[in-house]
A = this chain, B = another copy of it.
Amino acid sequence: MLFPSLLLSAAASAGAAAAQGVSTYVNPAVPTGTPIPANYTGPLRPQVHYSPPTGFMNDPNGMFYLNGVFHLYYQYNPTGLGAGNQHWGHATSKDGYTWENQPIALFPPEEKQYVFSGSVVVDTNNTSGFFPNQTNGVVAIFTLARYNEDGSGGPQTQAIAYSHDEGYTFQYYAQNPVVDSTSSQFRDPKVIRFEDHWAMVVAYSQEFALGIFTSTDLKKWTWASNFTNHGLLGAQYECPNLVKMPVRDRESGEVVDEKYVITLSYFIGDFNGTHFNTLDAATRLTDFAKDNYAAQFFYGVEGNQISLGWASNWQYAQQVPTGNNEGWRSAMTLPRASYLTKAPRIGWTMVDEIYDTKSIMGDSLATKTMGNGSVTVDYADVASNALYIEANVTGIDVAKATSFSTLNLTFTSPSSGESLRSGFYFGGDNPFFVDRGQLRGFDNVFFTDKFSVADVYYDSSADKTASWRVQAVIDRSMYEPLTMVNVAARDLPAGAKVSVAVWALKSTWAGQANKQGTVVGNVTTTSKRHMIYEGVSRHNE
């Protein structure tokens, strides 16, 4: 993660006392050993996406899956509504949607050395030596970023911390850093297990290079290779991922191979434990709009790989109105399940599907099978304001689709006149678009209204017809809730069939709120965590 130096500087100066050589700095305004309570009922609060209780959140970190629990950590400023004072916030979920807030997991080791992005592994075989009597030991590998008194960046080094309680509490390794550096632009280690060793990708961000390091014990790391200057360089490289992913046959869905994926944009290749070689020279993007940054894959997932990202970006994350209105900023994307396949024409591609939503499905509001036509649903009485919508279009005669053949998905607010439009064009270059320009409440030069992407489809069957599917989740996020949805198919060629389903979604937060509407998070293990935190000195005490 990167953030503008001014904001960091302001945040850094909020800490009053100087470092005194102890191992962890806890700002007196930051609670330890207890989750931060919060109200999740506000009109801007997403109901099926994760957002922090209060304060400012950015990149997801350290994500792992163990014993049926997804662990999400996140870059967290608990004392402000902009970036700075970075901690690792923590939340857990059994279904990938319903997140229980946990106490902050990692605090700055010193007053001006923040905990930046990183990853977590499960050290099943105790390669680290931290876990002599455990197979569920957890090690976090992350960047410690030092800041100077004037707010400018000091060295960024890679450090580790270990947890004996499956990731709820951590202790810093006494011999940090494990990868030293004098650079202020060297960060975001992501570690995976490769056969007999650990492999790390880490960004030399200003050089548009990823370093690949190896280790047998997570403590001593050896440089193995660099992966440089691939894809769209942008402003810098950050938050790389390295993940093994199944390759599935496009027709049967069966796993036929496995490949590794590096994500920045994304690159598919072979990995031999030390070197990554791309299969081709294409640059592939997972998304076409602005609100998916620094996505990370959960460590410890078998089969299709599960990830989520930060549903914002540095252009306007610190300006969105949730901050002043409700005291929090930023949400995560929904979880996605991903695999690789070879598609006609486009070749190697990563397929991202919304992770299984069954746990949050509410009432079915509409199902309809039609040719051209439309379905309109008034969902004003869905308490969450959140919906799941799926439309499957089959039997499209590709040669007869024209530039007027469309499937449009439109949400409107009869009370305010606001709307959110999206749709697919089956003719021409097959653009899919989203237009959020008719929503109000936020004026910012970077808050782009219209996004589109060429979404290649093709005849895939003997009869030269194609099929196409859209899955959409809409969540609460604006002043005047949108309450009407219309799914309309127009000018599709004869023979095309459209099936539409609209479902209400349950709020993932409503069930966690007490009678006062407050989500308190996990307080059941407080005593255990207090024991751990007894070892933490507060500078200001």
Contact = CB atoms under 8 A, between A and B. Distances in A.
B5 A402 contact: yes
B230 A281 contact: yes
Contacts of A454: 234-235
Contacts of A5: 399, 402, 427
Nearest to A349: B233
A236 B346 CA distance: 9
Interface stretch (A97-105, A211-219, A440-448): A440-448
B231 A427 contact: no
A437 interface: yes
A280 B314 CA distance: 28
Contact of A452 (B230, B404, B446): B446
A445 B433 CA distance: 7
User: Interface on chain A toward B: helix, strand, loop, or mixed SS?
Assistant: loop
A124 interface: no
A315 B315 CA distance: 26
Interface residues of A, number: 55
Given A6-B402, A314-B428, A428-B3, A448 B446 contact: no
A283 B4 contact: no
Contacts of A281: 229-231, 278, 281
A363 interface: no
Interface string A234-247: 11100000000000
B233 A282 contact: yes
Nearest to A9: B402
B429 A282 contact: no
A131 B401 CA distance: 47
A2 interface: yes
A457 to B, nearest CB: 10
B450 A446 contact: yes
B399 A152 contact: yes
Given A229-B282, A399-B152, A446-B431, A345 B6 contact: no
Given A6-B404, A315-B431, A428-B3, A450 B452 contact: no
Given A281-B229, A314-B429, A423 B450 contact: no
A504 to B, nearest CB: 27
A449 B429 contact: no
Contacts of A456: 235
Interface string A372-416: 000000000000000000000000000100111000000000000
Given A4-B402, A208-B347, A446-B452, A429 B280 contact: no
Contact of A230 (B282, B315, B423, B445): B282
A207 interface: yes
A345 B445 contact: no
A232 B447 contact: no
A4 to B, nearest CB: 4
A256 interface: no
Interface string A1-36: 011111100000000000000000000000000000
Given A346-B208, A447-B450, A450-B449, A231 B433 contact: no
B449 A233 contact: no
A284 B229 CA distance: 10
A402 B82 CA distance: 14
A502 to B, nearest CB: 22
A258 B278 CA distance: 28
A7 B403 contact: yes
A278 B230 CA distance: 11
Given A281-B278, A285-B232, A315-B452, A445 B428 contact: no
A119 B378 CA distance: 55
A231 B230 CA distance: 9
A430 interface: yes
A206 interface: yes
Interface in A470-504: none
Contact of A449 (B232, B423, B437): B437
A228 interface: yes
Contacts of A235: 429-430, 454, 456
A468 interface: no
Contacts of A223: none
A267 to B, nearest CB: 8
11 contacts: A4-B427, A5-B399, A6-B404, A229-B281, A232-B232, A232-B282, A233-B346, A315-B431, A433-B446, A437-B437, A449-B450
